[in-house]
Amino acid sequence: MRRGDLIDVVGFDADDTLWECQDTFDAAEQLFFETVSPYASEGIDLADSLRSTELGNLAISGYGVKAFGLSMIEAAVTATGGKIPSRAIGVLVDHIHDMLREPVKLLDGVAGALQSVAQTHRIVMITKGDLVHQTRKVRTSGLSHHFEHIKIVLEKDAETYQGVLDEWNIIPSRFLMVGNSVRSDVVPVLEIGGFALHIPYHVTWDHEVVNTTSHAFESLDSISMVSNWLANEAK
């Protein structure tokens, strides 16, 4: 029996699984450092200030570019004791709006990989982030026709996966999740009895890094290998 015979539906993460995301945040952080450091109070660790502000706001503002932008501005004012000129803040706000407008950059092999998997399996997308921004990325990606359902969630934990799969009448034990984050795409899906494939991306947001996991899981080097994985014999 093939692995694919054990699976009804394949779920894909989006950011850094289908298209680039973390690179854009890293570039924005660089802009933040360059813009803010000339005015930073002595002894301030700007990276730490930004990170703490982001994490402090996470529960109320969530993931995504707009939440990040507001945290960046808050950190810029705080870390400079108000000494940063508002024109420099204007540069940061403009950059945030540019990020929201940025064309989607599909990762290598994504279009072909989805087409292959779609020939044998139903496909859904489960992703975190900002509703408007993710919807825009899905719509402009040229990939949306592959997805039977698309869900943008606040947090990818076991409870959320269980709820989303229930809503779509998908049996967890017949569901495979594919994504770049062990914390968000792999561990919670294994916890509810599903399959998961990790496809590492070259950069990972610190927040998504898990140092240890009690779960054994499989990694593939590329999303192009998912359809082969499905076609192989189950052990």
Contact residues toward a copy of itself (CB under 8 A) are: 57, 60-62, 66-67, 69-70, 73-74, 76-78, 80, 82-90, 93-94, 96-97, 100-101, 130-133, 135-136, 152, 154
Q: How many CB atoms lie within 10 A of CB 233?
A: 8
Least Cβ distance, residue 165 to a copy of itself (angstroms): 15
Least Cβ distance, residue 101 to a copy of itself (angstroms): 5
For 9, the 3-state DSSP assignment is strand
Q: Which is nearer to a copy of itself, 95 or 198 (CB)?
A: 95
Q: How many CB atoms lie within 10 A of CB 131?
A: 11
CA atoms within 13 A on the CB side of 34: 8
Least Cβ distance, residue 215 to a copy of itself (angstroms): 28
Q: Which is nearer to a copy of itself, 16 or 130 (CB)?
A: 130
Least Cβ distance, residue 152 to a copy of itself (angstroms): 6
Cα–Cα distance for residue pair 35/29, rounded to 1 Å? 10
Q: Which is nearer to a copy of itself, 87 or 202 (CB)?
A: 87
Least Cβ distance, residue 73 to a copy of itself (angstroms): 5
Q: Kindly state the tokens that stand for 212.
A: 């240890």
By the 10 Å C-beta count (0-12 exposed, 13-18 middle, 19+ buried), 36 is classed as buried
8 Å CB contact between 107 and 83 = no
210 backbone dihedrals φ, ψ, rounded to 5°: -110, 135
8 Å CB contact between 184 and 162 = no
Q: Which is nearer to a copy of itself, 46 or 73 (CB)?
A: 73
8 Å CB contact between 187 and 207 = no
Q: Which is nearer to a copy of itself, 40 or 226 (CB)?
A: 40
Residues 6+ apart with CB under 8 A from 170: 8, 9, 124
Least Cβ distance, residue 135 to a copy of itself (angstroms): 6
Q: Which is nearer to a copy of itself, 108 or 159 (CB)?
A: 159
